Amino acid sequence: MIAGTTKVFCVIGDPIEHSLSPAMHNAAFRHLGLDAVFVAFRVDRKNLEHAVKGIRSLGIAGVNVTMPHKTAIISYLDELNKEAEFVGAVNTVLNAEGKLVGFNTDGIGAVRALKESGLTLKGKKIVLIGAGGAGKAIAFQLAQEACELRILNRDGEKAKQLAAKLERKFNTKILGNSLSQATLKECIKDADVLINATSVGMQPNHNQTPVDRELLKPGLTVMDIVYNPVETRLIREAKSAGANVVYGTEMLIFQGAASFEIWWKTPAPVDVMRKALSDKLCRGGA
Ligand SMILES: NC(=O)c1ccc[n+]([C@@H]2O[C@H](COP(=O)([O-])OP(=O)(O)OC[C@H]3O[C@@H](n4cnc5c(N)ncnc54)[C@H](OP(=O)(O)O)[C@@H]3O)[C@@H](O)[C@H]2O)c1
- pLDDT tens per residue, the chain (286 residues)? 899 999 999 999 999 999 999 999 999 999 999 999 999 999 999 999 999 999 999 999 999 999 999 999 999 999 999 999 999 999 999 999 999 999 999 999 999 999 999 999 999 999 999 999 999 999 999 999 988 999 999 999 999 999 999 999 999 999 999 999 999 999 999 999 999 999 999 999 999 999 999 999 999 999 999 999 999 999 999 999 999 999 999 999 999 999 999 999 999 999 999 999 999 998 765 5
Residue 1 placed within a domain: no
CATH of the domain at 214: 3.40.50.720
Q: Which pLDDT does position 127 carry in this prediction? A: 98
CB count within 10 Å of CB 1 equals: 4
Clarify whether residues 258 and 150 are in a common domain.
no
Q: How far is the CA of 190 from the centre of ligand 1 (A)?
A: 25
Q: Which pLDDT does position 247 carry in this prediction? A: 98
Ligand 1 atom, smallest distance to 252 CA: 3
Clarify whether residues 17 and 148 are in a common domain.
no
Residue 274 placed within a domain: yes
For the sheet with 99-103, list strands across it: 36-42, 7-13, 62-65, 92-96, 99-103, 79-80
Q: Which pLDDT does position 22 carry in this prediction? A: 98
Residue nearest to atom 44 of ligand 1 (CA): 199
Q: Which pLDDT does position 286 carry in this prediction? A: 58
CATH of the domain at 261: 3.40.50.10860
Residue nearest to atom 47 of ligand 1 (CA): 226
Q: What share of the chain is helix, strand, coil (3-state, %, to 5)?
A: 45, 20, 35
Residue 130 placed within a domain: yes
Clarify whether residues 165 and 237 are in a common domain.
yes
Q: How far is the CA of 225 from the centre of ligand 1 (A)?
A: 9
Q: How many domains are contained in the chain?
A: 2
What range defines the domain where residue 268 resides? 7-104+251-282
Clarify whether residues 47 and 88 are in a common domain.
yes
Clarify whether residues 134 and 225 are in a common domain.
yes
**Paired strand residues for 41:** 12
Residue nearest to atom 6 of ligand 1 (CA): 134
Cα-based angle 205, 210, 214 (whole degrees, multiple of 5): 120
Look up residue 2 and give its amino acid. Answer: I
Q: Which pLDDT does position 283 carry in this prediction? A: 77
Clarify whether residues 115 and 234 are in a common domain.
yes
Residue 2 placed within a domain: no
Q: Which pLDDT does position 15 carry in this prediction? A: 96
**Dist. CA 8–CA 116, nearest whole Å:** 30
Ligand 1 atom, smallest distance to 249 CA: 1
Cβ of residue 198 lying under 6 Å from some atom of ligand 1: yes
Q: How far is the CA of 276 from the centre of ligand 1 (A)?
A: 25
Clarify whether residues 125 and 62 are in a common domain.
no
Ligand 1 atom, smallest distance to 129 CA: 43
- Identify which of 16, 5, 102, 14 has the alpha carbon closest to the alpha carbon of residue 63: 102
Catalytic residues: 70
Helix runs in 88-132, H state only: 106-116
Clarify whether residues 97 and 111 are in a common domain.
no
What is the pTM (predicted TM-score) of this model?
A: 0.96
Cβ of residue 176 lying under 6 Å from some atom of ligand 1: no
| Run of H or E including 48 | helix 48-58
- Identify which of 282, 7, 229, 246 has the alpha carbon closest to the alpha carbon of residue 113: 246
Cβ of residue 199 lying under 6 Å from some atom of ligand 1: yes
Clarify whether residues 176 and 234 are in a common domain.
yes
Clarify whether residues 226 and 151 are in a common domain.
yes
Question: What is the β-pairing status of strands 62-65 and 92-96?
Answer: antiparallel
